[in-house]
Amino acid sequence: HSGARPHVVLLPSAGMGHLVPFGRLAVALSAGHGCDVSVAAVLPTVSSAEARHLEALFAAADPAVRRLDFRLAPFDASEFPGADPFFLRFEAMRRSAPLLGPLLATAGASAVVTDIVLASVVLPVARECGVPCYVLFTASAAMLAFCAHFPGYLDANSAAGRAGVVGDVDIPGVYRIPKSSVPQALHDPKHLFTQQFVANGRGLVDADGILVNTFDALEPEAVTALRKGKVVSSFPLVFAVGPLLPVMFPAKDPAGYMQWLDAQPARSVVYVSFGSRTAISPDQLLELAAGLEASGHRFLWVVKSTVVDRDDAGELGDLLGHGFLERVRGRALVTKGWVEQEEILQHGSVGLFVSHCGWNSVTEAAAFGVPVLAWPRFGDQRINAAVVTRGGLGAWEERWSWDGEEGLVSGEEVGEKIKAVMADETVAKKAAAVGDAAAAAATSKGGTSYRSLAEFVGRCRD
Ligand code: BUP
């Protein structure tokens, strides 16, 4: 399959945060760079958002993007009582990696791009089949540097008699990640996430290259340090190919938010969303509601109250407190449903994005130059929030946590902060400049990200 039209097999794991960038990569490779693309899919998906997304992707990009069914081996989840359903799917996929061999051989793949979450188990399988194997790192370059450095950090601590202890992590050539920003689970060496994370971090050096959904101008320190081998020596090629551009699917918009946005003045709306898997405690939801109300601004709020959308029960009125929806009627739109976030972020009425800083959300805000008020919660989100402030994309109130000892963030504080950021011209100007830099990197043919992706495709052709 080498030659004119390479066939690239993409292997995403579970969760929208992983599926979305893979869908974007699929379209960029097929429509933008002349590749045949197959996307491996495990059905049924964990959430219904993923099922809808896959269906829309294959319908929109047919026939250049094909579906490859990846059937998992039986997996007994009772080994991990109480584990997050997405982590369980990661583990089930990891254990089924040997089944990928025949799949890759039959598909006639010229290269495979695996999700970072599966990297350490897919790399040896691909090697055995003689298929070059790349990794798509679905988070920031700062997080990639952290992931690459962390196993060595743990080894050094063990050698110094501090096995399993995790404090501040100083990434060589990058910057220091304070203990409070280290993903919580990593403090527990036995945690399923820690085991997967460390194995993948060690495996990275065996990849033929690593694609990252970021761009040089947003994260210059991390991208440069990785490429120069300062983080880990002899590190594979790093292709910064972001922001991967949104694939516009025809919006199903029963809540009517696009029409509502059309009716609002320019830059007047605060868009609030904490991602697809962040369930917020009922008490914090109430404070957030009070804060949005007190800010006096218009707002569009996507409320999620459960981890998996299949059981997103509960009436909005009950969740947000008595009379709230009536009081904000006219200046706010609140919905529990799925929204097309990239369409919202590129709408001229949106002036601020209050975000949990899932990496895709950050890249989407960067792509459209929308300022972010970071309110990270777990995983890599605090590391991403630091990228937001360093990169000039917005503000972060570091004291705000979601379930820390400090307790709830009060509605009053939320309202004041939103008012302050919305009034700050400098924040808006800097974010707009990030938007310009993102466009220059990813959409113009001479841009750093465009050229990186072209270079990757060139290697798949060889
Ligand atoms: Br909610 C929601 N519409 O209503 P992140 C999310 N998204 O388009 P997360 C919508 O899902 P993980 C909605 O634009 C982004 O591309 C959003 O990814 C989109 O965070 C994606 O921002 C969410 O990386 O993912 O969901 O926490 O934890 O799996 O990384």
Instruction: Measure 156 CA to ligand 1 centroid, in angstroms.
Output: 35
Does 9 have pLDDT greater than 80?
yes
Tally the residues of the chain. 462
- With a cut of 90, say whether residue 371 has pLDDT above it: yes
Both tokens assigned to 441: 């990197």
Considering only CA atoms, which residue is closest to atom 20 of ligand 1?
358
Q: Residue with the nearest Cα to atom 10 of ligand 1? A: 341
- What is the pTM assigned to this prediction? 0.95
Question: Does 364 contact ligand 1 (Cβ within 6 A)?
Answer: yes
Q: What is the DSSP letter of 249?
A: P
For the chain, give the percent of residues with pLDDT over 70: 96
Judge if the beta carbon of residue 359 lies within 6 A of ligand 1: yes
Bridge partners of residue 333, in order along the sequence: 300
Q: Which pLDDT belongs to residue 1? A: 46
Dig out the tokens for 409 from the structure.
């963030």
Cα–ligand 1 centroid distance for 18 (angstroms): 9
Q: Is 87 in the pocket of ligand 1 (CB under 6 A)?
A: no
Is the distance from CB of 199 to CB of 97 less than 8 angstroms? no
Q: Average pLDDT, stretch 103-114?
A: 94
Is this complex's ipTM strictly greater than 0.95? yes
Q: Residue 2 has what pLDDT? A: 45
The order of strands in the sheet holding 133-137 is 65-69, 36-41, 7-11, 111-115, 133-137, 209-212, 237-240
**Each residue of 36-90: pLDDT tens digit?**
999 999 999 999 999 999 999 999 877 889 999 999 999 999 998 888 899 999 9
Provide φ and ψ at 454, rounded to 5°: -65, -40
Index of the ligand 1 atom closest to the CA of residue 274: 1
Tokens at residue 17, please? 């945060």
Ligand 1 binding pocket includes 20 (Cβ within 6 Å) = yes
pLDDT at 327 over 50: yes
**Residue 309 scores a pLDDT above 70:** no
CA of residue 319 to ligand 1 center, whole Å: 21
Report pLDDT digits (tens) over 389-401.
999 999 999 999 8
Q: Would you place residue 275 in the very low, low, confident or very high pLDDT band (cuts 50, 70, 90)?
A: confident
